[in-house]
Amino acid sequence: MATERTLSIIKPDAVRKHLVGQIVARFEAEKLTPIAMKMKHLSRQEAEGFYAEHRERPFFSALVDFMTSGPVVLMVLEGDDAIARNRAVMGATNPQNAAEGTLRKQFAESVQCNAVHGSDSPTSAAREVAYFFAQIEQCPR
C-alpha cells in the first residue's frame, strides 16, 4: 500500500470543546501520523480559498463564517493509504449518518460543525497540503 499524505483540520467547534488531544490521539492510534502541525485562526480570504470548490453552494457563506469563528489545528497526516483511511476514521459529513466509532459520530454537533476536515482525493490532498504547509515544514518519520 502506498504511503500518502493528507490534510486534516480540527475545526473550530472541536478546538472550542478541548478535543484536540483526543482527536490527535485517535489519528496516532490509527497510524495516521502527524508530520506537520500548527494552530491558525483563518482569515475569510484563507477559508474562501480553501473551500473554493464549494463557492456556489448555498451553505458557503455560513461555512466560511464557521471556519473563521475561532482557531483551527492544521495537520499533515502521513501513513499507508492515508487519504481514504482518514476519511474512514472521520465518518460521514452529517454526524446523523456517521458510523459508530468514527470521529464525527463521537464529536460532531451538526452537518456544519462536524469537528474535522480531511482531503477527499490525491488531487485535493496535494493542493490542500501545499495550501497551508511549505515542504520544509513537513517532517517525514
Give bridge partners of residue 78 from the DSSP assignment. Answer: 5, 33
| Residue nearer to ligand ATP on the CB measure, 111 or 126 | 111
d(CA 39, CA 16): 13
Tell me which of ligand ATP, Mg ion, none is bound by residue 59, counting a contact when its beta carbon lies within the kind-specific cut-off of 5 to 8 angstroms.
ligand ATP
Residues 68-127 that bind Mg ion (CB under 5 A): 120
Least distance (Å) between residue 16 CB and ligand ATP: 15
Question: In residues, how long is the chain?
Answer: 141
Q: Is 136 exposed, middle or buried (0-12, 13-18, 19+ CB in 10 A)?
A: exposed
d(CA 103, CA 85): 12
Least distance (Å) between residue 136 CB and ligand ATP: 26
| Residue nearer to ligand ATP on the CB measure, 63 or 126 | 63
d(CA 95, CA 36): 27
Tell me whether residue 117 is one of the annotated catalytic residues.
yes
d(CA 62, CA 103): 22
Q: Which of 18, 41, 54, 117 is catalytic?
A: 117
| Residue nearer to Mg ion on the CB measure, 25 or 59 | 59
Q: Which residue has the cell 473551500?
A: 51
| Residues forming the site for ligand ATP (CB under 6 A) | 54, 59, 63, 93, 111-112, 114, 117-118, 120
Q: Which residues are catalytic?
A: 117
Residues in contact with Mg ion by the rule CB under 5 A = 120
